[in-house]
Amino acid sequence: MQLFKPVSSEPVSGVPDMFHLRNCFDPQQVFDLTQLVVDRSPFRHMQTPRGYTMAAAITNCGVVGWVSDRRGYRYEPIDPETGTAWPEMPPLLFSLAQMAAQRCGFDDFAPDACLINRYAPGKGMSAHQDRDENDFTQPIVSLSLGLPARFFVQGSDGKGRSTPIDLASGDVVVWGGASRLFYHGVRPLKPGIDPVTGSCRINLTFRKAG
Ligand code: MD6
Ligand code: FE
């Protein structure tokens, strides 16, 4: 199965070391692989350390998965909902993430975690940094599935102008280096129906956590 379509990577203007790869995988194939994960570790709404419920529903695959609860944010080898290990990262998804990273100059990216977010219309994600990983020299590879979304990136302090990036189903963002710790988020989703996901957007972010 040829999952990664060879595409050119487009540097995101104004954001160093961030690349947008358009239309570089088949959404149906990635959705089917995601569904195998969700069958074993279902989507759930996690609590933030301050006691709010996160707008996006979350699950994970890989050696470790990202979790949030009253104790904080961290990576855990066990899914707290099922009490067993997170589902294995599908090898095809590992390869897809690795090839996308390579295409952008990050050789030998070996993700051990994949965080899967699902957004309903009206839901988004407020500005945050991804800083729970151990090695910030490693990039994050982000796959978008389903309804389109406006992603935004701000500077290292979360202030100032934000750069919008419109993400469609099948798009990948590769992000590392100088902007690895920049604040970013997702604007509330517009309603719609996608032929693969229905009325939602799914985002998969591959990370080297450990
Ligand atoms: C999303 N993504 O696109 C949320 N973080 O739904 C993220 O928060 C994200 O796409 C780090 C790197 C890439 C991302
Ligand atoms: Fe993030």
Asked, for residue 81, whether it belongs to a domain, the answer is yes
Which pLDDT score is estimated for 132? 97
| Confidence at residue 2, expressed as pLDDT on a 0 to 100 scale | 58
> In this predicted model, what pLDDT tens digit does every residue of 39-86 receive, in sequence order?
999 999 999 999 999 999 999 999 999 999 999 999 999 999 999 999
What's the 3-state SS for the chain?
Answer: CCCCCCCCCEECCCCCCEEEECCCCCHHHHHHHHHHHHHHCCCECCECCCCCECCCEEEEEECCEEEEECCEEEEECECCCCCCECCCCCHHHHHHHHHHHHHCCCCCCCCCEEEEEEECCCCCEEEECCCCCCCCCCCEEEEEEECCEEEEECCCCCCCCCEEEEECCCCEEEECHHHCCCCEEECCCCCCCECCCECCEEEEEEECCC
183 CA to centre of ligand 1 in angstroms? 10
Could you tell me if the CB of 130 is within 6 A of ligand 1? yes
Residue 4 inside a domain? The answer is: no
Would you say the pTM of this structure is higher than 0.85? yes
Domains in the chain: how many in total? 1
2 lies in some domain: no
Counting atoms of ligand 1 from 1, which one is nearest the CA of 185?
8
Instruction: Tell me, yes or no, whether 3 lies in a domain.
Output: no
Q: What is the CATH number of the domain that holds 23?
A: 2.60.120.590
Tell me, what's the pLDDT at 113? 98
Query: Which ligand 1 atom lies nearest to the CA of residue 117?
Result: 6
Question: Ligand 1, closest atom to CA 144?
Answer: 3
Ligand 1 site, residue 151, Cβ cutoff 6 A: yes
- Taking the centre of ligand 2 as the mean of its atom positions, its distance from the CA of residue 29, in whole angstroms, is 23
Residue 1 lies in a domain: no
Tell me whether residue 173 is in a domain: yes
Residue 4 has pLDDT above 80, yes or no: no
Q: Is position 5 within any domain?
A: no
Residue 115 forms part of a structural domain: yes
Query: Which structural domain, as residue segments, surrounds residue 59?
Result: 10-207
Distance 39 CA to ligand 2 centre (A): 24
Confidence band of 8 (pLDDT split at 50, 70, 90) = confident
Residue of the CA atom closest to atom 8 of ligand 1: 185
* Residues facing 44 on adjacent strands: 58
